[in-house]
Amino acid sequence: MNPIDLRSDTVSKPTEAMRKAMASAEVGDDVFGDDPTVNRLEAMAAERVGKEAAVFAPSGTMANLMAVMTHTRPGDEILLGDECHVFNYEVAGSARLCGVQAHALHNLPDGGLDPVELERAIRGPNIHTPANPLLCLENTHNRCGGAALPLGTMDRLTGIARTHGMRTHLDGARIFNAQAALGEPAARIARDCDTVSFCLSKGLGCPVGSLLCGPMDFIREARRNRKMLGGGMRQVGILAAAGIYALENNVDRMVEDHANAAALASGLAKLGPFAPNTPQTNIVVADVLKGDLDAWLAAFRQAGVLAVAFGPQRMRMVTHINITADDVTAALERIERSVGTEAA
């Protein structure tokens, strides 16, 4: 029995058509700026999110790190949500490699921040305090169950940052899921963010890669920082070709992943031991009401469904390009059987 892999949208495998595009990619040494396919992807990415320029990065983690490094100086303090990826899952790279302190504000369940709390956190000029050059937001918000932050929230928070002379970086790892959920173009969602990163290797279905997008001079500096971090890649058009293919073919289909996540959550809710969110996008998080999380994850695995722990009594399941509506039905049947066994 093939496991139905819902651990993340990062697990998706490139389709035949994507592999063909990769195999026939024209390449060159990208550190010299010579890779025509990378150049095309970067131009396309910048255009899709409404920014002047873009730089290809090996991962979302490095794209965010390059953003923080380029926006700040050692000793600065960045403001972000306490549930965001930069704060929780990037091995404190911004502290270690950029020398910045993170001030984490309480994330609201919709992925946003309380504007009053944000205003209060921004420090005025004082001989004792660090400077606050940067606010980081995340849309869609992974740990907030794939919440798509509405435009009103984006505009309000970026407006506060701007008023205080701060810049905003958007971790838009899944910004095209936000686009699909909100019915607003990614460029509008990121409009008032100075920079935005997004991942090719999640809902877009590519094997590797992320883009950091922003003003031309910022991206020039970010490219230097990428080199310093060891992220200067050579004949990487082979990966950029996957990104171009995905931006052309895999964006509009994301609504299917969202419908599949909704079906998965409503099926799970009927089984009893789990309290799932009502997913807006492709991420289902479910609280375990009965029994032990690790025992459930093991039982799911045994039944042929892969999920991950996402908190002490919380699991996460993510739909993606390799998961069909039939897979969701099959996953629910398998889970239902394991619930029966656990109950017995």
- Minimum CB distance to ligand TLP, residue 293 (Å): 17
Q: Please identify which residue in 35, 76, 83, 171 interacts with ligand TLP, judged by CB under 6 A.
A: 171
What's the rounded Cα separation, in Å, for the pair 203 and 176?
Answer: 8
Q: Which of residues 203-222 bind ligand TLP (CB under 6 A)?
A: 210
The residue (of 18 and 339) whose beta carbon lies closer to ligand TLP is: 18
Indicate the length of the chain as a whole number: 344
- Minimum CB distance to ligand TLP, residue 167 (Å): 18
247 binds ligand TLP, rule: CB under 6 A: no
Q: Please identify which residue in 45, 49, 60, 264 interacts with ligand TLP, judged by CB under 6 A.
A: 60
12 binds ligand TLP, rule: CB under 6 A: no
What's the rounded Cα separation, in Å, for the pair 218 and 123?
Answer: 24
The neighbouring-strand residues paired with 309 are 315
Beta-sheet pairing, 101-105 with 283-288: unpaired
61 binds ligand TLP, rule: CB under 6 A: yes
The residue (of 62 and 339) whose beta carbon lies closer to ligand TLP is: 62
Angle between helices 293-303 and 325-343 (to 10 degrees): 120
10 binds ligand TLP, rule: CB under 6 A: yes
5 binds ligand TLP, rule: CB under 6 A: no
- Minimum CB distance to ligand TLP, residue 101 (Å): 20
199 binds ligand TLP, rule: CB under 6 A: yes
Stretch that binds ligand TLP, among 17-25, 58-66, 150-158, 236-244 (CB under 6 A): 58-66
For residue 295, what are the contacts with CB-CB under 8 A and spacing of at least 6? 342
Buried b (16+ CB within 10 A) or exposed e, 324-339: eeebbebbbebbbebb
Find the residue with minimal CB distance to ligand TLP.
60
The residue (of 205 and 339) whose beta carbon lies closer to ligand TLP is: 205
Stated as kind and residue range, the H or E segment containing 340 is: helix 325-343
The neighbouring-strand residues paired with 315 are 286, 309
Q: Please identify which residue in 4, 18, 27, 59 interacts with ligand TLP, judged by CB under 6 A.
A: 59
Stretch that binds ligand TLP, among 54-62, 108-116, 245-253, 257-265 (CB under 6 A): 54-62
What's the rounded Cα separation, in Å, for the pair 86 and 69?
Answer: 12
The residue (of 238 and 318) whose beta carbon lies closer to ligand TLP is: 318
Q: Is the dihedral of CA 179, 150, 201, 97 positive or negative?
A: positive
Q: Report how many residues bind ligand TLP under the rule CB under 6 A.
A: 15
Q: Which of residues 69-128 bind ligand TLP (CB under 6 A)?
A: 85, 89
Tokens standing for 215?
Answer: 């003003």
- Minimum CB distance to ligand TLP, residue 286 (Å): 16
CA distances from 344 to 42, 242, 271, 275, 296 (A): 55, 47, 14, 21, 14
Angle between helices 325-343 and 254-269 (to 10 degrees): 20
Closest C-alpha among 286, 257, 264 to residue 331: 264
195 binds ligand TLP, rule: CB under 6 A: no
Q: Could you list the residues that contact ligand TLP (CB under 6 A)?
A: 8, 10, 59-61, 64, 85, 89, 138, 142, 171, 173, 199, 201, 210
